[in-house]
Amino acid sequence: MDFRGVSLIAGRETARAGAEFRAINPATGSAIDPPFFSATEADVDRAVLAAQEAFLVWRKRNAHDRARLLRAIADGLDAALPGLVARAQQETALPEARLQGETKRTSGQCRLFADVIEEGSWVGARIDTALPDRKPLPRPDIRSMLQPLGPIAVFGASNFPLAYSVAGGDTASALAAGNSVVVKAHPAHPGTGELVARIIVEAVRSTGAPEGVFSFLYDQGFAVGQALVQHPLIQAVGLTGSRNGGRALMDLAAQRKEPIPCFAEMGSTNPVFLLPGALRKNGNQIAAGLFGSFTLGAGQFCTKPGMVFVPEQQETTPLVDELRRLTGASTPFNLLTPGIAANYTRSLQSRSENSGLSMQQASSSGGTCTVSAALFETQIGAFLDHPEWSQEVFGPTSMVIRYQQREAMIRAAEELEGHLTASVWGTDEDLAEYADLIAILERKAGRLIFNGFPTGLEVSDAIIHGGPYPACSDSRFTAVGSRAIVRFARPVCYQGFPDTSLPDDLRNANPLGILRMINGNTTREPVTAG
Amino acid sequence: MDFRGVSLIAGRETARAGAEFRAINPATGSAIDPPFFSATEADVDRAVLAAQEAFLVWRKRNAHDRARLLRAIADGLDAALPGLVARAQQETALPEARLQGETKRTSGQCRLFADVIEEGSWVGARIDTALPDRKPLPRPDIRSMLQPLGPIAVFGASNFPLAYSVAGGDTASALAAGNSVVVKAHPAHPGTGELVARIIVEAVRSTGAPEGVFSFLYDQGFAVGQALVQHPLIQAVGLTGSRNGGRALMDLAAQRKEPIPCFAEMGSTNPVFLLPGALRKNGNQIAAGLFGSFTLGAGQFCTKPGMVFVPEQQETTPLVDELRRLTGASTPFNLLTPGIAANYTRSLQSRSENSGLSMQQASSSGGTCTVSAALFETQIGAFLDHPEWSQEVFGPTSMVIRYQQREAMIRAAEELEGHLTASVWGTDEDLAEYADLIAILERKAGRLIFNGFPTGLEVSDAIIHGGPYPACSDSRFTAVGSRAIVRFARPVCYQGFPDTSLPDDLRNANPLGILRMINGNTTREPVTAG
């Protein structure tokens, strides 16, 4: 692989001006050649100016042109899969099968958004035809539809080197809606980033998109990201990251002279509630599934179940014993970066010093990123006294919280902060009996799962990957699935315009054949002369 | 009229504990009896706790129950119309016909949102059915729909004592979605506010809604509003206000431990572009319409046209002469409050000291709220040198900006900040020739108007009353029209739930008969067993 190691602005390489850094192989802890070079603040400005110039062209390209770019990116990703997976494996130590799946998910997301915009109804077109004879005043013709926002800043995620990084869901949905994109690459996988960025640049060229529609900036530190979010021409921000990182960017976006939306998905602890009937019915199956879920991807999913509420009953001890056994017998895990590993180790250390928490941990040895799984156990009284135990610990760990009283569990549910998901295992009878729990969880999470685990997110029309703060900056949007596109679009209304001057989406004849609300009725029919 | 002068928390009157204040009659400048009393911070806490308690019940009430409350409020407003208009006239000096129309618009908005939720498709239900045989992994059943956020803080607007105050569009849309509401009354029309609040309290009682679903707080100053936005249980904010006031609340909402959405519609200057063909065709009609639009409601609409770009051509001088004549001959206007009048007078004074601006103003005499209309004129060169001239001046004034060069006008359009509206007068040929202008205005405004003026906003499905900052805090939403309801709702996703445990909106049989997206197809059909 021949890496250039520099940022790409509107398809052109930058100079090797900024600070030098290298990726680290989490399996060995050693740096990988060649070096990469941080962008400068001048690069940020050039990238955003190019993005603005390109936006003026791109926003007027029709959906088929935009879809062509997304499909070319998807094809490029698929064609490059072996090389992408090989480099990503070096940079992340994630298993090959996972990275293959993630690459396919990434190209799949590009094609999903291509399909969404070619189908076209996502713009939510609405038409209220004129009522010239209405009393006391005539009604003018009023039509509206979603249109793109402008240049969008996208931040690569450490834990999704493909699906939520350079060509990930934020980039794909932003481009699909007609925005331009400036990506700040995650420094933990710069080589994977460069490979993907080159695929996008090539797709931009081969499909005739304006070159500034995509730029790609490196930074080992924070200056580039901060300058990007603060640039006056940037119109929105999309990221998947930590709570601290996400909140810092939210605050920068809100403090601008012109505040902009910052969509930050910041992870969560994803509570799991095991109800009595489910425990009786299949406690052991749950133990294996739960262990698999909290250690999947070395526990580095935003949806990792980190809190498990279990009632005290006959089946509880064998279930917890089995979780302990699986944890103790597990082989070491490599976390994504030395920083993540250090945080994990520090969090475990801090929790293990609490008298109210017991810990089962496997032994580990290896590089600076190598850790072992850990299972914490506590009683609900101690848990309620320690709100800090409900914070996310990124890595292969979870906590079992045992309770005697249903009321204490309900109280713990009521005290939950916002989460991406909440899972409930139960029988249909449990579900009826615990309707109060479900009603609480609807207010606490973006996605409720029944008899399943939260990892293994489906990318679909109905999926929601979001939730109340701090899981997400704005619970009204989702990071994943076809609905994610509306994060980067705003409605524009046309009053009294002649048919020939309207966007195709709003013209009488409905040349795009999309679903529209016409005088309150949703239809694909044309507007008939009033 | 028998006023109690105190806040109402969950239907109960508070003590006369806070600072005393009175409404002022803008026509006379004198205070109106009786006094009103500001709420305390303890009142804020009680109101929000009651709102949270009520929310837990209200969110589970079906759409017909919620619609019944909205219709009872609407009926109450209609029945009270004469008394409401009489008191509002004293407190605002707005014309009787305007206040009658505004009262009907307010009850109409309540009925609009009742219709929206009874029709039911607004929840955007999506269903992806399970694919148990899919390889490599089965797909679970995934369903999602919009649900309410929680207690919402609504701020009454000075310039819409009914339609954007106590029972205005923010309150109606928030209640419709299943939220509870705490209103901070605008202190300029406390009596109107009390009358409307009592109508809502009575409607809550008569329809069996939980009493805490609505509370109503007075404050002469800012403490109550600030405490409300900062209260941990408040989940979103809705307001129509000034840029300074709106931004202050946006900042408070963003700085919370748990940031919340603050939807602020902050007004704008609403540029008007008169293109050459239109000037030739009907310059005089435009002059009369423009004068009527910028003086409507004494120029106190968020959509008031405050900037008019006119090319230098034969018809320009008679058009401007006519505008000058209409302005000079106009009778005095009463602004809503002494503060608004003082700001208006100060702004005019400041502008009149600029050598690049000429001013035509009628003479005025009257109370502290009485002012006269003013027309400013300038050349585009001076305008481009003075970005501060494009700021909104609340009151009956506008500015004519004359240009020789098309390029200068395009540059001025490109330098516009965000506006609620942008209007273009032209022939069909003008529209074709100035497509570049339209493309710019699409990025600058929420609503584009062709051959019309921006005042006189239609409340409908397709309308957008919003726009890029600083017109609005978040251009992705609208304050007016049926789309406004989504400001106060978030999607919640259910994975793997049995049919009987799902909300009605998502059940297989589609008992509500709503439009849903099922496996990508939008339909009212039930889900057929896969």
Angle between helices B63-79 and B190-206 (to 10 degrees): 140
- Residue pair B446/B467 in contact (Cβ under 8 Å)? The answer is yes
b/e burial code for range A136-174 (CB count within 10 A of at least 16 → b): eeeebbbbbbbbbbbbbbbbbbbbbbbbbbbbbbbbbbb
- Partner B contacted by A20 (CB < 8 A): no
- Partner B contacted by A456 (CB < 8 A): yes
Instruction: Please tell me the predicted confidence (pLDDT) of residue A530.
Output: 52
Q: What is the DSSP string of A73-106?
A: HHHHHHHTHHHHHHHHHHHH---HHHHHHHHHHH
Place of tokens 């010239």: A132
Instruction: Please tell me the predicted confidence (pLDDT) of residue A319.
Output: 96
**CA neighbor of A420 nearest in space, from A205, A272, A260:** A272
CA atoms within 13 A on the CB side of A385: 9
**CA neighbor of B55 nearest in space, from A98, A96, A442:** A442
> How far is A152 from A143, CA to CA, in rounded Å?
26
Single-letter code of the amino acid located at A243: R
Closest Cβ opposite residue A475 in set B462, B486, B490: B490
b/e burial code for range B291-316 (CB count within 10 A of at least 16 → b): bebbbbbbbbbbbbbbbbbbbeeebb
Helix (H) or strand (E) segment spanning residue B5: none
**CA neighbor of B182 nearest in space, from B305, B9, B388, B433:** B9
Instruction: Please tell me the predicted confidence (pLDDT) of residue B2.
Output: 86
Annotation says A265 is catalytic: yes
Which residues of chain A lie closer than 8 angstroms to B251, CB-CB?
Answer: 254-255
> How far is A125 from A248, CA to CA, in rounded Å?
35
| Ordered strands of the B262-265 beta sheet | B12-13, B8-9, B214-217, B180-184, B151-155, B236-240, B262-265
Instruction: Please tell me the predicted confidence (pLDDT) of residue B529.
Output: 63
Structure confidence by residue, pLDDT tens digits, B149-189 = 999 999 999 999 999 999 999 999 999 999 999 999 999 99
B321 vs chain A: nearest CA distance in angstroms? 27
Contact A464 B438 (CB under 8 A): no
Structure confidence by residue, pLDDT tens digits, B277-317 = 999 998 888 999 999 999 999 999 999 999 999 999 999 99
> How far is B366 from B368, CA to CA, in rounded Å?
7
Does residue A238 come out as left (phi exceeding 0), alpha (psi in the -120 to 50 range) or beta? beta
Structural tokens at position A27: 């399996």
**CA neighbor of A18 nearest in space, from A40, A43, A46:** A40
What is the three-class DSSP state of B491? strand
Instruction: Please tell me the predicted confidence (pLDDT) of residue A1.
Output: 64
Structural tokens at position B298: 């004494």
* Closest residue on chain A to B249 (Cα): A254
Mutation target to probe the A interface, by most A beta carbons within 10 A, among B429, B464, B480 is B464
Give the contacts of B205 (CB within 8 A, at least 6 positions apart). Answer: B11, B211
* pLDDT by 10s per residue, chain A, length 530: 689 999 999 999 999 989 999 999 999 989 999 999 999 999 999 999 999 999 999 999 999 999 999 999 999 999 999 999 999 999 999 999 999 999 999 999 999 999 999 999 999 999 999 999 999 899 999 999 999 999 999 999 999 999 999 999 999 999 999 999 999 999 999 999 999 999 999 999 999 999 999 999 999 999 999 999 999 999 999 999 999 999 999 999 999 999 999 999 999 999 999 999 999 998 888 999 999 999 999 999 999 999 999 999 999 999 999 999 999 999 999 999 999 999 999 999 999 998 889 999 888 777 889 999 999 999 999 999 999 999 999 999 999 999 999 999 999 999 999 999 999 999 999 999 999 999 999 999 999 999 999 999 999 999 999 999 999 999 999 999 999 999 999 999 999 999 999 999 999 999 999 999 999 999 999 998 65
**CA neighbor of B145 nearest in space, from B473, B512, B474, B459:** B512
Q: What is the DSSP string of B449-482?
A: EESS-S-S---SSS-----STTSBS-TT--SSSG
List all residues of chain B from 346 to 365 with a beta carbon under 8 Å from chain A.
none
Mean pLDDT of B137-150: 97
Quote the DSSP letter at residue A331: P
B19 vs chain A: nearest CA distance in angstroms? 33
> How far is A261 from A474, CA to CA, in rounded Å?
9
Mean pLDDT of B110-131: 98
pLDDT reading at B362 higher than 90: no
**CA neighbor of B216 nearest in space, from B180, B256, B250:** B180
All domains of chain B, ordered by start, with CATH? 10-23+30-266+478-486 (3.40.605.10), 271-450 (3.40.309.10)
Identify each DSSP E strand in B313-379 by its residue range. 333-334, 358-361, 370-371, 374-379
pLDDT reading at B405 higher than 90: yes
Structural tokens at position B360: 């035509």
* Closest residue on chain A to B428 (Cα): A498
Closest Cβ opposite residue A452 in set B140, B469, B486: B140
- Tell whether the torsion through CA atoms of A226, A217, A235 and A107 is positive or negative: negative
Contact B501 A438 (CB under 8 A): yes
Q: CB count, 10 Å around CB of A251?
A: 14
Q: CB count, 10 Å around CB of A500?
A: 10
Mutation target to probe the A interface, by most A beta carbons within 10 A, among B144, B258, B431, B436 is B144
> How far is A283 from A316, CA to CA, in rounded Å?
8
Single-letter code of the amino acid located at B447: R
Percent of chain B with pLDDT over 90: 95
A98 vs chain B: nearest CA distance in angstroms? 12
Mutation target to probe the A interface, by most A beta carbons within 10 A, among B141, B492, B500, B517 is B492
**CA neighbor of B10 nearest in space, from B256, B292, B205, B260:** B205
Single-letter code of the amino acid located at B21: F
Annotation says B302 is catalytic: yes
- Residue pair A505/A255 in contact (Cβ under 8 Å)? The answer is no
Identify the band that residue B1 occupies on the pLDDT scale cut at 50, 70 and 90.
low
Does residue A431 come out as left (phi exceeding 0), alpha (psi in the -120 to 50 range) or beta? alpha
Percent of chain B with pLDDT over 70: 99
**CA neighbor of A264 nearest in space, from A338, A386, A170, A163:** A170
**CA neighbor of B347 nearest in space, from B366, B330, B361:** B361
b/e burial code for range A71-83 (CB count within 10 A of at least 16 → b): bbbbbbbbebbee
Structural tokens at position A207: 């499909």
Q: What is the DSSP string of A164-225?
A: TSTTSHHHHHHHHTT--EEEE--TTSHHHHHHHHHHHHHHHHHTT--GGGEEEE--SSSHHH
- Partner A contacted by B494 (CB < 8 A): yes
What is the three-class DSSP state of B67? helix
Q: Out of A91, A194, A262, A302, which one is annotated catalytic?
A: A302
> How far is B439 from B307, CA to CA, in rounded Å?
19
The whole-model pTM stands at 0.97
